[in-house]
Every structure is written in C-alpha cells, then in structure tokens.
Amino acid sequence: MLSSEIRRQARVLVREHRKEDPKIVAVYVVPNSLDEVRMVEVSSSVGTTREVIPFRFSGQSQSDLPFDTVLVLVSEEEYELIKSGALALPEGWGAVEDLDPIELEDAGE
C-alpha cells in the first residue's frame, strides 16, 4: 500500500516533470516503498537504449519533497519490454504488474 505522503510527493514530482517534459505519457510508483518515492516515468521524448537506469535524488526535509526519490525514465518501447519481461525493473522494485499508476490528471495537469 502506497502511503499518502509518498503519493503526494509523487504527484508533486509528476506535475513538475511534466512542465519540463510534456511528452510523459504514464507514471507509475512502486507501492511497497515506505521511505522513498520510486517512480517509473514513460515518455515519448526519450530514445530507446534498452537500459533501465535508476537516478537517485535526495529529499529535502524542509520542502514539499521530504522523501528521497529514485526515478527510472523509459521510452514507450522500453516500458513494453519491461512488461514483456525482456527488461527488468531495478532489484527490489517488484513486478511491473504491481506498479501503482499515478493519473496524470491527479497530478494537477
């Protein structure tokens, strides 16, 4: 179950990321993380490298983003490869079927 604080921060991040990349077509959050935001962003603006590389950002306790964030940015093709099992999510993130979608409209689009 995704905590309300993690979900809130994920929505803030999606809103900000979509300002920079309006071609983000889907965002998913790993539901079993209680101490950091783990997100998969699918964007038609990125090329396909066939790699899943997590980027880590430290949280800022005195801001709207208190939790550390780990972000994986993938192309639509790479997300399909993840769904088919040809590419894997980072270790410990669970199965792609368990990802919790963040509705883009919920993020304040």
List, for residues 16-49, the tens digit of each pLDDT value: 999 999 999 999 999 888 789 999 999 999 999 9
Kindly write down the DSSP assignment for every residue of 31-82, as one continuous string: TT-SSEEEEEEEETTS---S---EEEE---TTSS--SEEEEEEE-HHHHHHH
Which pTM does this prediction carry?
Answer: 0.89
pLDDT in tens, 49-62: 999 999 999 998 77
Question: In this structure, which long-range contacts are made by residues 59-62, counting pairs with CB atoms below 8 Å and at least 24 apart in sequence?
Answer: none
Fold held by 4-104: Beta Polymerase; domain 2 (3.30.460)
Q: Is the pLDDT of residue 78 over 90?
A: yes
Give the pLDDT score at 79.
97
